[in-house]
Chains A and B, each alone.
Chain A
Amino acid sequence: MRNESTVEIRRLGSPLLRKSSSLKVWKRGLPLYLMILPGLLFFLIFRYLPMGGIVIAFQDYSPFAGFTGSEWVGFAHFERLFGEADFWSLLKNTLILSALNLFLFFPAPIVIAVVLNEVRVQWFKKFVQTAIYMPHFLSWVVVVGITVILFATQEGAINKALADAGFARLEIMTDPKYFRIVYVLQNVWKEAGWNAIIFLAALASVDPTLYEAAVVDGANRWKQLWYVTLPALRSTIVILFILRLGHVMDIGFEHIYLLQNSLNLSVSDVFDTYVYRTGVLQGEFSYTTAVGLFKSCIGLILIVIANKMSKKAGEEGVY
């Protein structure tokens, strides 16, 4: 494409003609603008229009009065949110699930990639890859459904096995004490293999002579792993870790929503599920828009900070 722009400049001729030639560039772009238009309309109507809709967080929105007729109430909804006991439990639940993701879910794909990278038997490597990518293509409904099938208190195969062996049955789906670990293990099961792709790509570009040099220096396989393979992943790990930090507020709404029930609400309720329940189901549009806005703003701030950190760490930014 760099080539193309130089060709373009040459063809456009002398700078004296710049005015008419810029018109020419617009004209030449016309078919492309037409191709972009449907997509642009999508972004404007379904992504930017809702951003405008955020104003209702500062109103007492009534569906009958609309955006223009509803009464302005300033920060009243935010004051209500910060005053609610629910707020602290929502924040706490979100942060705990995020922390679990960072320290248990995040390292899993790295381990998988490093291990897969050591496999020299090609058919086995292919087979493992195909198998561990598989859960990524399942819906959360299927993943949670399989968990229910295996762990159902009475019918579940695992609880049956436990009971037969004389252990107590585990109430995996209903007892709040299991919720967090089930959540993070399901994340690992579904996405760890798939997320290894990016680390595998980084490892594929490692210069093989580095390993040869390490062997000459007397490094065994463990040392090669420590001194060659892991350093090769360093920058990918740093950038993805920072990216994750920027998404502390996003913990997989659909997943949480499917796992949630009246019995585990004390540990499973997060901002998004709260917004859905109170907003869509109970019709408190303005208040829950404020809740959503609070969440989005924290998210935005975190992403900006994360991006700064990434650049400071000598890595490329995300944007």
Chain B
Amino acid sequence: MNTYDARGKDPLFITVIYGLLIVSLLCILVPFVYVTASSFATEHEILSRGFFFFPKEWTVEAYGYLLTNQNFTQSFKNAVVITFFGTLINITLTSLMAYGLSKSWLKGRRVLNFMVLFTMIFAGGMIPTYLVIKELGLINSYWALYLNTAIAPFNLIVMRSFFQNIPSELEEAARIDGCSELRLFWRIVLPLSMPAIVTFTLFYAVFNWNTYFFAILFLNDSADWPLQVYLRQMLIETASSMEADSGGFHYTPAVKMAAVIITALPLLVVYPFLQKYFNKGMLLGSVKG
């Protein structure tokens, strides 16, 4: 490693570097702090004070309102169900297929790889996809969400190269001991690939938790909608229809902020703990292609 001193000190340089980083930090953190703080504030305070980072009077009224609001709790539950089963299907199908495709001696591997790659550069488009889902009778079912996005080709390819880097001697030894392919995958390959599995489980969970468009595309019944759709109704629809004549409910500012916090928080709490994995897991795979 090059040390700090070896590279030389330059006060102006240091100022510029740290200045830029602190400005970007503020750009990212200030909105969060404001939204968090005002979610605990009274309506009066939000409307009368401009920016603030600590409410004068703390209240959890907004959270109380959301937790007793049936529509909100239902959409929260829907989001949890979609994220859990969606991610389970994602990671199972992706890792199984990636493992199969990681074996260079497998016949037909090239064709299969090309099939996967091709979907990254050309797609049938929104309408034909919608019609296929419709013909299969999946409209208004969560299966439309689970199956339509079961595998992300990029994740599959990165995972495949991760599996390829596992020393084949290990697998050979297990095979000579009479280990079946599935057992080998389960007992040896998966435990060795935890960084990749954790990383892609997180990525898929993020995708499923954040899914918005496919939900409104495939689900007509508002009782099935996940959190993101509900949040959009609360925040954006009322704002874009000029705030007044929307005809919908009017939520107090604090309730809107609290809804943002509840929607964003689950992943923001988890990801810093998994960061060490994806720094490793993803880079290894993606750099080597």
Contacts and interface: CB of A to CB of B under 8 A. Distances in A.
B131 A115 contact: no
B112 A141 contact: no
Contact of A29 (B28, B107, B182, B209): B107
Contact of B93 (A42, A116, A319): A42
Contact of B236 (A7, A26, A148, A285): A148
B20 interface: yes
Contacts of A48: 115, 119, 124
Given A5-B104, A115-B21, A128-B25, A279 B124 contact: no
A28 to B, nearest CB: 8
A50 B131 CA distance: 8
Interface string A165-184: 00000000110000000000
A47 B124 contact: yes
Contact of B148 (A8, A46, A160, A215): A46
Interface in B237-260: 239-243, 253, 256-257, 260
Contacts of B185: 35
Interface string B209-241: 110110001000000000011011011100111
A43 B129 CA distance: 12
A99 interface: no
DSSP majority for the A interface? helix
Given A53-B132, A140-B212, A157-B51, A3 B241 contact: no
Contacts of A254: 212-213
B260 to A, nearest CB: 6
A45 B253 contact: no
A135 B8 contact: no
A39 B235 contact: no
Given A111-B20, A258-B232, A46 B212 contact: no
A299 B118 CA distance: 13
Interface string B161-190: 000100011011000000011100100000
Contacts, number: 297
B126 A31 contact: no
Given A51-B124, A138-B210, A211-B2, A174 B236 contact: no
Given A146-B35, A280-B217, A4 B212 contact: no
Contact of A253 (B28, B123, B213): B213
A257 B242 contact: no
Interface of A: 1-5, 7-8, 22, 25-26, 29, 31-33, 35-36, 38-40, 42-43, 45-54, 56, 111-112, 115-116, 118-120, 124, 128-135, 137-142, 144-146, 148-150, 152-155, 157-158, 160-161, 164, 173-174, 189, 193, 197-198, 201, 208, 211-212, 215, 220-222, 224, 253-254, 257-258, 261-263, 272, 275-276, 279-280, 285, 288-289, 292-293, 295-296, 299-300, 303, 316, 319
